[in-house]
Chain A
């Protein structure tokens, strides 16, 4: 099973600041990685797929990069609605998720 490790566990930032989230895979997943956003009481929402492609309707402030084992989700300037938990997911060998990074208001 491919294990995805996200860091940091919690990111404390202010609105307008830049957020950089990391996801590391235990073996190469090529570019077969997605990022999701989850708010309390809601299902995950697809943000980024294939490492760097924004899903339909996702604002341009969200961007993804990386390939192989190291991936980054960047939120260029945090809006109030961006404070949430973010998960990465791979689809190389079935589907596994990271444990999440919580972006909280500082």
Chain B
């Protein structure tokens, strides 16, 4: 059974950096058979995929065009976790943020999710 546990601050000031961490149990962040994703959900944007990191002999990252200039996703193999950093946030970045696993084999969609982290951007 895979468990994803999220942590990080729930309030971020405008123009600052949003930082969240997703700790993995029951799988490995450096697995060759999964990718590790961040998804957010807000009333205005709905569910929005933000980016992913995965390991295939080396680390790869892919980011959504909407946030590409502001986002970084990193893996920490020593702690078996991965993180999201979103720079220069505005109130429009207020959302519930989720981490999620996508295996490369069936079901090949997001099969395990974190509990969600409500992040509010406000001064």
Residues of A within 8 A of B (CB): 34, 36, 41-46, 49-50, 53, 55, 87, 89, 91, 94-100
**Cβ B49 vs Cβ A94 within 8 A:** yes
User: Which residues in A have their C-beta under 8 angstroms from that of B98?
Assistant: 43-44
Which residue from chain A places its CB closest to the CB of B50 in the assembled complex? A95
Residues on A with beta carbons closer than 8 Å to the beta carbon of B106: 49-50, 53
Contact B109 A34 (CB under 8 A): yes
Closest Cβ of chain B to A38, distance in Å, is 9
Also in contact, A46 and B109, with CB within 8 A (given A94-B49, A96-B49, A100-B46):
yes
Taking CB atoms and an 8 Å cut-off, the chain B residues in 103-123 that contact chain A are 106-111, 113-116
- Can you show 24 pairs from A to B with CB atoms below 8 A apart? A34-B109, A34-B110, A36-B110, A41-B116, A43-B98, A43-B113, A43-B114, A44-B47, A44-B98, A44-B113, A46-B107, A46-B109, A49-B108, A49-B109, A50-B107, A50-B108, A55-B107, A91-B109, A94-B49, A94-B64, A95-B49, A97-B46, A97-B48, A100-B46
Q: Binary interface profile of B, 70-87, with partner A (CB < 8 Å = 1, else 0)?
A: 000000000000000000
Binding site for A on B (CB under 8 A): 46-49, 62, 64, 98, 100, 106-111, 113-116
Min CB–CB distance B60 → chain A (angstroms):
14
| Smallest Cβ-Cβ distance to B63: which chain A residue | A94
Chain A residues with CB under 8 A of B114: 43
State A41–B113 Cα separation when bound (angstroms).
13
Contact of B46 among A45, A53, A91, A99 (CB under 8 A): A99
Which single residue of chain B is at the shortest CB-CB distance from A89?
Answer: B109
Option from B48, B62, B107, B110 in Cβ contact (under 8 Å) with A44? B110
Shortest Cβ distance from residue B44 to the other chain A in the assembled complex, whole angstroms: 11
- Sorted nearest first, the 3 A-B pairs with minimum C-beta distance are A43-B113, A49-B107, A97-B47
Partner of B107, one of A53, A96, A98, A99: A53
